[in-house]
Every structure is written in C-alpha cells, then in structure tokens.
C-alpha cells in the first residue's frame, strides 16, 4: 500500500471522532508518524480519537489499519503503535462480550454489508478511495461491526505482532508481547449473568 497516497485519498471529512465531526486532524498526524516526526502528544491525540472509554467509532477500524501499515513499513514508534493497538483490542474485546451478553445477533443484511466493507478494509493494496455507495454502506452497518472489524483485523495480522516479539528493540518486544498475550488470553468480563 502506498501510505501517503492512501492518506491523501482517504475521505477524512466523512468520519467523525469522539471530539470532532470529521477526522481531518488525524491525517496530518498519521503522515507525521510515517515521516518519523510525530511527538508523544500526537500518538495520544490519535488514540484518544480512535477509542474513548471502551467505545469504538467508525474511524477506529481505519485507524487500526493505518497503525498496522505503519508497523509493516517499519515507521514511527512501533512500541507506541503496539500499545495503542492493544488499547483498541481491549475495547473491542469488551464490546464483543457486551454483544454476547445482550444476545446481539446481526441481520443477514448487516452480514452482507460487512462482506462489502471487508473488500477495502482488509485490502493490503487499499489506496484510500471510497465511493459514495461504499461510505453509505459503511455508515449504515450496525455499530457492533466496529468491534468485530477491529478484532478481525488484529487476528489477520497476528503473525506480524508475533514477529515483533522477537525485535532487537526491547520496548518493541515488550509491547508486542503484551499485545500477543492479550490476543491469546482475552480478558473475560462478568455482566452479572446468573
């Protein structure tokens, strides 16, 4: 994937964050991460907009995809990216368990929409472009699919995270090990079922 081309083509103005009605501010920071010029406050800014109090947003799976691309490109502070991916995993894991506890069952229509969404979200050559129909499909799917797509993207890339546990950089090794452990041993939540 051509990361900078994807950043320029991605429809940032169509995805809200917890704080803004668009995610345009994320574009510049992801580019700074790619160029290895991001500061610690930039990393915090991004994760604060992708996840808030275990809530995931429609921009979250895309932010995760861009984190993974940065890891593959060996760009930015990989240890921080891995920590932030772990935050997203924990939030998605929690929300998936809420779905189970509340007996959420996706409709056939939502499952069909998810297959359409995966065509770009899971495409390693994604160039950032989305037509109006794709955006409409993405925005109309149940919010529950934000955690499902987050978990699925992480599962698709587990070998990358496992490889990073063998990094020569101890900070990367530690962050990757924590993430891999979270994935293999997801926290269980008790929602008071008897």
* Average pLDDT, consecutive stretches of 10 residues, N- to C-terminus, the chain (194 residues): 95 88 92 96 96 89 97 94 98 92 92 95 95 95 94 97 97 98 93 61
| pLDDT value of residue 21 | 84
- For residue 68, count CB atoms less than 10 angstroms from its CB and return exposed for 0-12, middle for 13-18, buried for 19 or more: buried
What's the pLDDT score for residue 192? 65
Partnered with residue 51 across adjacent β-strands are 56
Q: What is the pLDDT of residue 194?
A: 47
What would the DSSP string read from start to end of 124-180? TT--S---HHHHHHHHHS-THHHHHHHHHHHHHTHHHHHHHTT-SSHHHHHHHHHHH
- Do 135 and 11 contact (CB within 8 A), yes or no? yes
Query: What pLDDT is recorded for position 182?
Result: 97
pTM, two decimals, is: 0.94
pLDDT score recorded for residue 85:
98
pLDDT value of position 181: 97
Round to whole Å and give the CA distance between 124 and 37. Answer: 24
């Amino acid at each position: 994937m051509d990361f900078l081309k994807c950043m320029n083509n991605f429809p940032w103005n169509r995805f809200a964050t917890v704080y803004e009605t668009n995610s345009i501010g994320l574009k510049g920071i992801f580019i700074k991460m790619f160029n290895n010029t991001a500061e610690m406050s930039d990393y915090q800014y991004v994760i604060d907009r992708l996840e808030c109090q275990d809530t995931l947003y429609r921009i979250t799976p895309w932010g995760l995809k861009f984190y993974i691309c940065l890891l593959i490109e060996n760009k930015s502070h990989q240890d921080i990216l891995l920590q932030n991916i772990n935050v997203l995993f924990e939030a998605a894991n929690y929300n998936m368990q809420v779905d189970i506890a509340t007996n959420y069952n996706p409709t056939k229509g939502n499952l069909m929409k998810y297959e359409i969404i995966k065509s770009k979200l899971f495409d390693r050559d994604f160039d950032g472009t989305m037509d109006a129909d794709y955006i409409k499909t993405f925005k109309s799917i149940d919010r529950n699919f934000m955690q499902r797509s987050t978990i699925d993207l992480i599962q698709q890339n587990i070998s990358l995270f496992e490889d990073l546990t063998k990094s020569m950089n101890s900070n990367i090794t530690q962050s990757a090990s924590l993430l891999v452990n979270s994935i293999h041993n997801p926290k269980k939540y008790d929602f008071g079922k008897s």
